Structure 1
Amino acid sequence: MQDLTLVMAQLDPLVGDIPGNADRAIEAVREARIEHGADIVVFPELFLSGYPPEDLLLRPSMETRLREARSRMAAKMSRDVLVIIGYPGRREGLSYNLAGLLYNGEWIGEYAKQALPNYQVFDERRYFATGERSLVVEHKGAKLGILICEDLWYGEPVRLARDDGADILITLNASPYHLDKPSERLSLLEARAAEVSLPLVYVNTIGGQDELVFDGGSACVDAEGQPRVVAPYWQAGLMPVQFVREAGRWVPQEGEIEPLEEPEESLYCALVSGVRDYVNKSGFQGVVLGLSGGIDSALTLAIAVDALGPQRVHAVMMPYRYTADMSQEDAAEQARLLGVHYEVLPIEPMVDAFMTALADTFAGTERDTTEENLQSRCRGVLLMAISNKKGLMVLTTGNKSEMAVGYATLYGDMAGGFNALKDVYKSWVYRLARWRNTQSLAVPERVIARPPSAELAPDQKDTDSLPDYDALDAILVRYIEGDMSAEAIIEAGFEREDVYQVVKLVDRNEYKRRQAPVGVRVTPRGFGRDRRYPIVNAWQPGE
């Protein structure tokens, strides 16, 4: 009986670290050969450059560095293993997204990606030319059809590989996560495999890169579309797939099948992974954040501790005269629960000093949001000073609902390097905090239960000037994710006054979002790469 061992290398490359990524590949193949007896090892899309390399692809030395890395791999890679790995490459004057095949010291083939995505966070047509043919390579009796990511979603390259004689399909991927993406992806694999009656191996990358995060979940489905192996989510590693030749067909054997996570767990893990990789890959010692006693900073603190460990997290309470006693008590309690470094820095002397300096300038004016913003900006100054002095990155704590409607202060609570909750709606902040507490107590219950408030004015509540967050988020999802007009949202059952208030705030605050820190993208339409609206425009939101 013929058999074949394929190992899915679900690993986390570092963008731009071409020599380091080559070393990671060499070591992974060595381990796959020793531990699993691998005949084939498959790496993710653009593994050697890291994904996405963006305008690094325009650097003249990119091709030289890739050539050197591929030469070293040919010399050092374990023998008698077919290695399939992704990298960019310039061929006959054009750049392509490639999958290269290395065997016994020789590069024996290259496949150029045929379907280039140019939507949401993808802009591959900016960099790559389109591949024009399929590639089917025989190895140890198996005819392998090579594909890259969007080829699978588009579909036609799958059929071409089948028509060219493939009996196992292998696809290299860098598929970014968003909520519900793992189930969408698995459904696609099942449908494509069943459509062409061939087993399909799907190798995905893992880890965070700027605002993108990758969940892994590499998988193999059989010719009927049934999952046979599904690798863990949010965990790097080597996952073997055993194929056996039966009745003239290669049949994947059943192995470990990781179940789909619940939405809250999946989303929380995405945020932890995004924070961990952004901080670590950027070389920061740790993070500092303002801990207000509110739900957003409380959830951010829990994420930071789970990502980095408590010894690398510095929390600062910065009370003012409007800060409630319960806020200070809850912040101190959470810091104690999670074991982070915690200190209290009152901002009243700073605010008073600014107000004294501005007294003549402000003479004859009424108190308004200027004074509220000044409190936030004093806090931002303190956090940035700690960041500079201690080499800690400032984590900001605003959620997507607030960022959408501009309830955030430029150079105040928006000052920082990264925002874990940037793409998390407020209603999901509560869901995540409750889920996290099912694992172990991390957010004091009173923080979850009390009405949200910025505490920048006496007895202030968020709902004083906004719809309640369930209604607000429902409107925002339709306007931001669904591109629905104001009138269409009203027809869906929402109050006209609320809808027009919200959409006008969203449109008016694009200038703020352009100056916000990057953050983990976890929805299909995050602020940043996904949604690119002009700051200055005269568009009317009605129809």
Structure 2
Amino acid sequence: MNPMKFAIAQINCTLGCLSSNAAKILEAAERAHAQGASLLLTPELSLCGYPPEDLLLRDGFYAACDDELQQLACAAPAGMTLVVGHPHQVDGLRFNAASVLRDGAIITTYHKHELPNHSVFDELRYFTPGDQPCVFEHEGVRIGINICADIWEAGAAQAARGAGAEVLLVLNASPYHLDKQLARHAVIRERTHENGIPVLYANLLGGQDELVFDGASFVMDAHGKLTHQFAAFEEVLGLVEFEHGQPKSGELQPPLDTEASVYRALCLGVRDYILKNRFPGVLLGLSGGIDSALTLAVAVDALGADKVRAVMMPSPYTAQISLDDAREMAQILGVRYDELDIQPTLAAFEQTLAPLFIGRAADTTEENLQARIRGTLLMALSNKTGSLVLVTSNKSEMTVGYSTLYGDMAGGFAVLKDVSKTLVYRLSNYRNSLGYAIPERIITRPPSAELRPDQTDQDSLPSYDDLDGIMACYVERNLSIPEIVARGYAEADVRRVVKLVRINEYKRRQSPVGVRITDRSFGKDWRYPITARYQDDF
């Protein structure tokens, strides 16, 4: 085989913005062509973005994609081959497809075989599975195509190899979660060992509602050796040189540790949600606590200080150190900072309700009033300015319902929705390792909602180490109560947490979307009924 140079376009697509996505693909093709590459591989459904969800039920969507694909084929550099992901409708059947474009023509089209219908995926709702391999010739080399989930099973790759493929191109829209890259590497290594051909793995980049696509595209040779590892969480045009039918060793980016990858996922998720939805900026309630502090740091790193506004809303129970720390952090990060004293509003609410509360002792009702006043003020500012309210609740709180509907749950995007409290602390320390942003006292003081005198979170919850451990077992791993207790957690704590999970489903169903960073988030991954009495674990 003659030497070849291929390119991987790891691009951030905007869902439904066909012309913009096509322009990105064309720009990558022109750059790759100028650097001597003869083939460009793009991610899964790169022409339209992923996942299009019920846009895929509209015939006009397919027609628009077909038109854009043909225009792209005509505009591509002469002699350059492009492999582009797109939805494809044929005789009333709909497919997740990849087409090969060359010299103004679409020379062949592949239909994805394996349609995932689990976790965040529901492709069987929209697509028909393909059943034929696709192998085309490029510079004397036989090249096969797979799409994302195809590679997680043996059949589609074996079919390509059986049809004569000497190199396998895989288009992917593989969303990020913790340790996902290790799983990708393991699967591709298994396919290379089975089929004895190199694999180029191109993954999508960017945030799409709750999903974040981390890119991290890579290449393995026929023996399962990693020859290229491109950067995660940024757009990349990766060049891959072949010699004697195998990819030569090239760029190998080191893996990110847990805190670095999660923090970058949060920033990318926030940035794309705000910018792709054309919000002018964000605002949030800054309490002096660690959750709002981390949310503020992410927002500033994602969008810039000029697009972020922090509002401190003290109540009678707000400690002076909370005010001091909030002011200091706003000054450090250079964001607009306002203080709105909610005590007069709280007094008015209490006076209005007093005749109806006669004979009833104060309880969480009065605590929730404070949270709801704050939510109302933030939403008023959002309406007036157009900026989106960022919700600061974390996954541990969402698990047990330690949050207030129409209060601290009010807003448009929940940055920490899938981040446990213990991980919040780790991320805060990580952020400070990049440059001082979060006052140290915010990290070290006991967490408190400050809705009653001398309150701390641990007054009404197990320790966060225990809570997060139980949550991970029950929510993320589907373990039973006996199985969780067997791992060393107190049975009373386990039963209490599980009960709180079950009775607070109605709250979670009303929460805004937020960045998914685990493989079981409270979003598309979690579909529990609100009304249900099944309790086999008790």
Q: TM-score, normalised by structure 1?
A: 0.98
Counterpart of 1:109, as a letter, is: T
Distance 1:74 1:39 in 2: 14
Q: Which moved more, 1:191-200 or 1:513-522?
A: 191-200
Distance 1:275 1:313 in 2: 12
Distance 1:318 1:154 in 2: 53
Counterpart of 1:311, as a letter, is: D
Per the alignment, residue 77 of structure 1 pairs with 76
Distance 1:61 1:453 in 2: 52
Counterpart of 2:308, as a letter, is: V
Per the alignment, residue 157 of structure 1 pairs with 156
Correspondences of 1:141-540 after superposition (within 5 Å): 141-244=140-243, 246=244, 250-540=245-535
Please state how far the C-alpha of 1:541 moved relative to its aligned partner: 4.8
Q: Provide runs of 4+ in structure 1 moved above 6 Å.
A: none
Please state how far the C-alpha of 1:195 moved relative to its aligned partner: 2.4
Distance 1:393 1:260 in 2: 33
Distance 2:466 2:397 in 1: 13
Per the alignment, residue 19 of structure 2 pairs with 19
Distance 2:478 2:412 in 1: 29
Counterpart of 2:373, as a letter, is: C
Per the alignment, residue 30 of structure 2 pairs with 30
Q: Contact 1:335/1:342 (CA < 8 Å) preserved in 2?
A: yes
Distance 1:481 1:363 in 2: 44
Q: Contact 2:100/2:109 (CA < 8 Å) preserved in 1?
A: yes
Per the alignment, residue 10 of structure 2 pairs with 10
Q: Contact 2:70/2:106 (CA < 8 Å) preserved in 1?
A: no
Distance 2:424 2:409 in 1: 18
Please state how far the C-alpha of 1:311 moved relative to its aligned partner: 0.8
Please state how far the C-alpha of 1:255 moved relative to its aligned partner: 1.0
Instruction: Kindly report the root-mean-square deviation, in angstroms, between the aligned alpha carbons of the 2 structures.
Output: 1.0
Distance 1:199 1:74 in 2: 26
Please state how far the C-alpha of 1:99 moved relative to its aligned partner: 0.4
Distance 2:153 2:122 in 1: 16
Please state how far the C-alpha of 1:267 moved relative to its aligned partner: 0.6
Distance 1:26 1:218 in 2: 19
Secondary structure in 2 aligned to 1:83? strand
Secondary structure in 1 aligned to 2:234? coil
Q: Deviations over 1:327-365 (max 9, x none)?
A: 111111111111111111110011111111111111111
Per the alignment, residue 48 of structure 2 pairs with 49
Distance 1:188 1:260 in 2: 17
Distance 1:479 1:526 in 2: 12
Q: Deviations over 1:401-443 (max 9, x none)?
A: 0001000000000000001100001000001001111111111
Please state how far the C-alpha of 1:194 moved relative to its aligned partner: 2.3
Q: Deviations over 1:492-532 (max 9, x none)?
A: 22111101110000000000001001000000100010010
**Length, aligned pairs only:** 538
Distance 2:221 2:70 in 1: 35
Unaligned runs of at least 5 residues, structure 2: none
Correspondences of 1:121-136 after superposition (within 5 Å): 121-136=120-135
Q: Contact 2:283/2:308 (CA < 8 Å) preserved in 1?
A: yes
Q: Contact 1:183/1:260 (CA < 8 Å) preserved in 2?
A: no
Secondary structure in 1 aligned to 2:4? strand
Q: Contact 2:325/2:442 (CA < 8 Å) preserved in 1?
A: yes
Counterpart of 1:234, as a letter, is: F
Secondary structure in 2 aligned to 1:384? helix
Distance 2:149 2:341 in 1: 52
Q: Deviations over 1:270-303 (max 9, x none)?
A: 0000000000001011100000000100000000
Distance 1:186 1:438 in 2: 29
Q: Contact 1:503/1:541 (CA < 8 Å) preserved in 2?
A: no
Unaligned runs of at least 5 residues, structure 1: none
Query: Identity rate of aligned residues, in percent?
Result: 50
Q: Contact 2:393/2:403 (CA < 8 Å) preserved in 1?
A: yes
Distance 2:491 2:231 in 1: 45
